[in-house]
Amino acid sequence: MARRQKQPAIILDRDGVLIDRPLLTWRKSQMKLSKGIAGEIKFFNEKKVPVIVITNQSVVARGLISEKGVVNLHELLNKRLKKSGAHVDKFYFCPHHPSANLKRYRVICQCRKPKIGLFKKAAKELNLNLRKSVTIGDMTQDILAGKRAKTTTILIESGRGGRDYKFNTKPDYKVKNVIKALRLARRLIKR
């Protein structure tokens, strides 16, 4: 059997990007999709370009929600997207934090952005070509991770808009919001 060619993907951050809340998020009522995003995701779904989410969810380490609870929220988001004929192919999240309340999550892991453990995992599981993929984020950790993973990076000015200033890193592109970012990504993955 011929080996399938490695494919480009759209790699989204969750909070402040897929959903319009850039803060800690653990309740159903906080899961509001960013305006117009379903239609933009649908474009990639139809082109068979995987759309994945990679997100730090320290809410688990802080004891606000269980890992299963996070999985349930992601199912809820996909249910909402599916109403518009769109879907996220896979959600990946890091439940850890180096100073977590819960001891079992208090670790220096390889999956918390700006580390790229989850990018590598996704690339392996979904046969991705990271060099041809696009990372869209609203914080410096998203951009640094995207760069370390060799993807093209787009920082959006909405959400946190890179104003966390935690890591000194420069995105390849900076645009107003996630809709503009996904429009730009259409062109970038064709290259």
Active centre residues (catalytic): 13, 15
Give the nearer residue to Zn ion in terms of CB position, either 31 or 60: 60
| Contact with Zn ion (CB under 5 A) among 109, 126, 179, 184 | 109
Alpha helix stretches (DSSP H) within the chain: 37-46, 58-61, 67-82, 117-126, 140-148, 178-188
Q: Does 96 bind Zn ion (CB under 5 A)?
A: yes
- Contact status, residue 75 vs residue 33, Cβ threshold 8 Å: no
Binding-site partner at residue 138 among Mg ion, Zn ion, none, CB < 5 to 8 Å by type:
Mg ion
* Chain residues in the site for Mg ion (CB under 5 A): 13, 15-16, 138
Burial zone of 93 (CB within 10 Å; 0-12 exposed, 13-18 middle, 19+ buried): buried
Quick one: what does residue 16 bind among Mg ion, Zn ion, none, with the CB cut-off 5 to 8 Å set by partner type? Mg ion
The CB-of-139 to Mg ion minimum distance in angstroms stands at 5
Q: What is the largest CA-CA distance in the chain?
A: 49
Cβ–Cβ under 8 Å, residues 98 and 107: yes
Question: Which range touches Zn ion (CB under 5 A), out of 3-11, 14-22, 86-94, 177-185?
Answer: 86-94
Distance in angstroms (rounded) separating the CA atoms of residues 35 and 16: 11
CB of 133 to Mg ion, least distance (A): 18
Question: Which residue in 10, 111, 139, 185 binds Zn ion (CB under 5 A)?
Answer: 111
Does position 113 bind Zn ion by CB under 5 A?
no
Sign for the CA dihedral angle at 56, 58, 59, 63 comes to positive
Residue numbers of the site for Zn ion (CB under 5 A)? 94, 96, 109, 111-112
